[in-house]
Amino acid sequence: MINRLLNKYNLNKNNVFFLLDNMLENKVDFGDIYFQLKEQEVWVLDNKIIKQGSYFYDNGVGIRAVKNISTSFSHTNLITLKNLISFTDTVCNMVVHTKNNVIKKQLYSNSTNIYPQCNPINNDYIEKKIYILNYIDQLARQQDNRVTDVYAVLTCEYEEIIVGSTDNRLLSSDIRPLIHITIQVIVEQNNNREKGTSGGGGRFKIDEFFKKNTNKGILIDIWIKEAVRIAIVALFAKLSPSGSFPVILGPGWPGILFHEAVGHGLEGDFIRKKTSVFSKKLGLKVASTLCTVVDNGTLYSKRGSINIDDEGVPGQYNILIKNGILKSFLQDKLNAHIMNKKSTGNGRRESYAHLPMPRMTNTYLLAGKDTHSDIINSVEYGIYAVNFSGGQVDITSGNFVFSTSEAYLIKKGKIVHPIKGATLIGLGTEVMQSISMVGDNLHMDEGVGNCVKNGQNIPVSVGQPTIKIDQLTIGGTC
């Protein structure tokens, strides 16, 4: 793949190593060159009509030079050897020259693939994609006569990258497929309209994605039925109570709370700048002893999985919190170098036009020993939150606010009825300490996650088992 992509621009491996050697001759501590080719295809169904079919293509190169904590960066989509030599010289001249502290050479190689090396944007599948979208509309309406509107978006992405860096004796490369579908339905009863949203995706072959089966059935069918179910549940939801109650978070997508309220605070740039609530807590107890949190870029075909990160480091399994003790942070090369640590394979960027930074991949809480039913039965009066629709987090303090899209009231160990308008308000470090039960039913989200940081949007996954938080503030409407 390396030769194929470089040949598109009349380049070869020796040309890339020449550019990297030139950066070292300019006495930088570290430099890298990032080639990227990206395609994206989007199909939109709106009430029985395919209203949009769009295609996006981009390619380019990002060049970075680092000297101590001084970084210079430039990017171009005019990819010729002459232009890259000029850009490399410019970037090296822009960096602030101080005492030399070259990053030692290492050997990174990606020998295994955790997702298929394929292109889901394939003209042979256009009719199949249109068929699937129409099928979504038909099956959703068959589920319930209260369904009035059906909306679906199918997105397919294909990405090729090559990373060359002054600290690596090899060029690293990856081919990254990504498929995602969003299904939204509107139901109406007695002039009350509610919506339900479902969907998912991952790094699959297109035919594998459409046919993917689980012990519960075909995934596409499951997501269609789930969107309808969520919308109908909302029709009968009562106003959420306000106050401080025990809260149970369901498995899977509710792990987004810990991605936001905890995970971001463990990223190396926030730690180095001492803007994270976790900055001085390495080795200390920051969560319940029941909690072990990991970031794992090596899960098969998950949305956040990476064979290599965007600095050429292989994806890794990183234990962040073990039995409540803070064990490590997420690092890219730059912050690891400054903090005298090693990269954890978490240097990620949106595109060649962006600088890499420490970012999560697939972040989740490991399973415990409690059953889902035992956790529900343990609550006298509280909230069971199944899904979130949005939230905000302050990295410095750890304060968060999350809105539920599906939640239920619990009384005397029983789920009584659905509620709406429930907002979870708390402090990430306090919530982690207040977890008293952890389920044995770890589940990853279905493949819907995007993470935005400093304006850069990347795919991620989250997950968790059912957990019980002893006390959490609920902002309700009654």
Distance, CA of 191 to CA of 182 (rounded, Å): 26
Residue 297: HSE in the Cβ half-sphere, 13 Å Cα cutoff: 24
Q: Would strands 217-218 and 213-214 be described as parallel, antiparallel, or unpaired?
A: antiparallel
Distance, CA of 108 to CA of 126 (rounded, Å): 38
Residue 11's CB: how many other CB atoms inside 10 A?
20
Q: What is the pLDDT of residues 215-254, one digit of tens each?
A: 777 889 999 999 999 999 999 999 999 999 999 999 999 9
Per-residue model confidence as pLDDT tens for the chain (478 residues): 788 889 999 999 999 999 999 999 888 889 999 999 999 999 999 989 999 899 999 999 999 999 877 899 999 999 999 999 999 999 999 886 655 565 666 666 666 799 999 999 987 889 999 999 999 999 999 999 999 999 999 999 999 999 999 998 889 999 999 999 999 999 999 999 999 999 999 999 988 888 777 777 788 999 999 999 999 999 999 999 999 999 999 999 999 988 988 999 999 999 999 999 999 999 999 999 999 999 999 999 999 999 999 999 999 999 999 999 999 999 999 999 889 999 999 999 999 999 999 999 999 999 999 999 999 999 999 999 999 987 778 877 888 899 999 999 999 999 999 999 999 999 988 999 999 999 999 999 999 999 999 999 999 999 999 999 999 999 877 6
Kind and range of the H or E run holding 428: helix 428-433
Q: What is the CA radius of gyration of the chain?
A: 24
- The whole-model pTM stands at 0.94
Domain ranges for the chain: 243-475
Work out the percent of the chain whose per-residue pLDDT is above 70. 96
Q: What is the pLDDT of residues 328-365, one digit of tens each?
A: 999 999 999 889 999 999 999 999 999 999 999 999 99
* Cβ-based neighbours of 180, under 8 Å, separated by 6 or more: 154, 155, 199, 200, 201, 303, 447, 448
Phi and psi torsions of 245, nearest 5°: -135, 165
- Are 389 and 253 in contact by the 8 Å Cβ rule? The answer is no
What pairs with residue 217 in β-bridges?
Answer: 214
Name which of 250, 236, 216, 252 is nearest 144 in CA terms: 236
C-alpha dihedral over 402, 407, 409, 414, to 10 degrees? Answer: -130
